[in-house]
A and B are shown apart, each in its own frame.
Chain A
Amino acid sequence: MPGFGDLEAAIMEAIWSAEEPLTVRTIVDQLNQERSLAYTTVQTVTEILYRKGWLQREKDGRAYRYWARSSRDDYTAGLVQEALSATPDRTAALVRLVKQMAPDEAAELRAALDTAKNSGENP
């Protein structure tokens, strides 16, 4: 099995795409359209995701039905927020490309850049 990621991502994808909570059986059937996976493997990983707090579940008869705690967009927004957060990251967990710039500063620089390019300088 590949390292953490592929299967977990596929399970989350299946759950986010669904319109209602899913059982492990449904997830396995969906995933098996593209790969062959054992029921127990998917069940184990789904339970791990539940225990890590990604999924919530309720019992439906003998099986559990799982749904995501938050939407994909919510998680993504959290990620970008963290990446762009204003505090200088002392622990250097991430290295982001560029902080935001004031609009008038950006306009001034754009003008300067255009001038430099038009003066035929060698890039």
Chain B
Amino acid sequence: MIALVLFGNATLLLLAAAPAMHRHRLFDRSPRLGILAWQVLTGAALLSVILGGLTLLVPSVPVSSSLADFLESCAMMLRRRYATPAGAVLGSLGTAFALVVFWRVAYHLILATTQARRLRRAHRETVILTGHPRSDGVTLLKHAVPAVYCLPGRRRHIVLTTGALEALDAEQLQAVLAHEREHLRAKHHLVLMAAGAVTTAFPHIRAFRTAHTEISRLVELAADDAAVRRSGRFTLAEALLALADSHRPAAALAAGGSTAADRVRRLIDAQAPRRIVPVLIGGALATSVLVLPVVLATGPALSAIGAEHCPIGPVTWQAQFAPLLG
């Protein structure tokens, strides 16, 4: 049954593909592809699960050129589904499940957006009142601890402390600003927020937590790459070292070594960015993973569109291949 294939696809993605992607660190050399891949994996898993639940209710989507026929086919399928008690239970469970999953994702996305906006607004207001705007649009805070960060959103700011200004020379400063500007340009905050929301929606699924961690890491690498294109990797490496090396006791380092060190090491080691062909192949594979479950769910309907005559009843895989199977 289609539902089984879809649920199977989701399971495969979450239990096999995600750990494999994480273990092999495929994307350090092309972080932008990696961000996309993790988003595709998350989206494909969720979509497969939701479609799987829905196809328990209506095994295939009936399509015809007239709305009346379409509705009648749908009604017929529903009636057929609810004709047997087992079918009714299955259909109802499937729909309920699909709706619950969809709702959890939507709810947590909305929650994350409003929370982020509120936090950001409060922080931004304080920055505006206490900071000193510079001619290059960056806001300066008088503070000894070096810090550089950006406030994304519709009213965006890049914020810099005087401590950071003292720690960096002119070229290093430009590299660091290029890094922040890339975060703003590529709207990384949206990607991070979505990944975080999915983790909050389904806290027990490790693959989503992995996706969030990996996306957070890759987003920094992508911004680093943009800064390197502008200023060179040694300049950025020096800037990162200057900012991260502090006499204060380090705030909780990530388990297993600090990400900043990995980033500096990556800049020093300087592997060339991945060549274009593997990137395209990777992209094609990733897209097919997303498209496959959707095709499976709606395939019969899509083929009906191309049929020469409008189908009178619902089109299923069996009906499609009946002539071939004899």
A and B physically associate: yes
- The answer to whether B143 touches A80 (Cβ under 8 A) is yes
List residues 116-156 of chain B with CB under 8 A from any CB of chain A.
116, 119-120, 123, 125-131, 141-143, 145, 147-152, 155
Minimum distance in angstroms from A18 CB to a CB of chain B: 16
* Pair A12/B251 contact, Cβ less than 8 Å: no
Is A97 in contact with B176, judged by CB distance below 8 angstroms?
yes
> How near does chain B come to A107, taking the closest CB pair, in angstroms?
8
CB contact list, B173-222 vs A, under 8 A: 176, 179-180, 183, 188-190, 192-193, 196-197, 199-200, 212, 216, 219-220
B268 contact from A5, A82, A116, Cβ within 8 A: A116
- The dominant DSSP class at the B interface is helix
> In the assembled complex, which residues on chain B have CB atoms less than 8 Å from the CB atom of A93?
115-116, 119-120, 123, 151, 189
Q: Are A77 and B143 in contact (CB under 8 A)?
A: yes
- Among A22-30, A31-39, A58-66, A83-91, the stretch that binds chain B is A83-91
B258 contacts A99, C-beta separation under 8 Å: yes
In the bound complex, do residue A75 and residue B130 qualify as a contact, i.e. CB atoms below 8 Å apart?
yes
**Are B238's CB and A113's CB within 8 A?**
yes
Question: Is the beta-carbon distance between B142 and A109 smaller than 8 angstroms?
Answer: no
Q: Which among A84, A90, A112 is the interface contact of B196 at CB below 8 angstroms? A: A90
- A113 / chain B contacts, CB cutoff of 8 Å: 234, 237-238, 241, 264, 268
B116 with A91: CB separation less than 8 A: yes
B128/A101 in contact, CB under 8 A: no
Contact B243 A98 (CB under 8 A): yes
Chain A contact-residue range equals 35 or more
The 5 listed contacts between A and B (C-beta, < 8 Å) are A92-B189, A96-B148, A97-B180, A98-B243, A101-B246
A residues in contact (CB < 8 Å) with B: 3-5, 8-9, 12, 54, 72-73, 75-80, 82-86, 88, 90-103, 105-106, 109-110, 112-113, 116-117, 121, 123
Q: Point out the residue from A12, A96, A102, A110 that lies within 8 Å of B147, measured CB to CB.
A: A96
CA distance A75 to B128 in the complex (A): 11
Interface centre among A5, A98, A102, A105 (most CB of B within 10 A): A98
Are B149 and A83 in touch, CB under 8 angstroms?
A: yes
The complex places the Cα of A9 from the Cα of B115 at a distance, in Å, of 25
Chain B residues with CB under 8 A of A80:
141, 143, 145, 147, 161
Q: Tell whether A82 pairs with B142 under 8 Å between CB atoms, given A98-B263, A99-B244, A103-B245.
A: no
Is B86 an interface position by the 8 A CB rule? Answer: no
* CB of B274 closer than 8 Å to a CB of A: no
Residues of A contacting B248 in the complex (Cβ-Cβ under 8 angstroms): 100
Contacts of B324 in A (CB 8 A): none
Q: Which residues of B contact A73 (CB under 8 A)?
A: 142-143
Point out the residues of chain B lying under 8 angstroms from A110, CB to CB.
241, 245
- In the assembled complex, B284 has its CB within 8 A of some CB on chain A: no
Given A4-B128, A97-B176, A99-B258, A91 and B193 contact (CB-CB distance below 8 Å) = yes
Pick the contact of A4: B125, B232, B234, B238 (CB < 8 A).
Answer: B125
Give A43 to B160 CA distance when docked, in angstroms: 31
Residues of B within 8 A of A84 (CB): 145, 147, 251
Residues of A within 8 A of B216 (CB): 88
Q: Does B252 contact A (CB under 8 A)?
A: yes
Task: Assess whether B141 is in contact with A100, with CB atoms less than 8 Å apart.
Answer: no
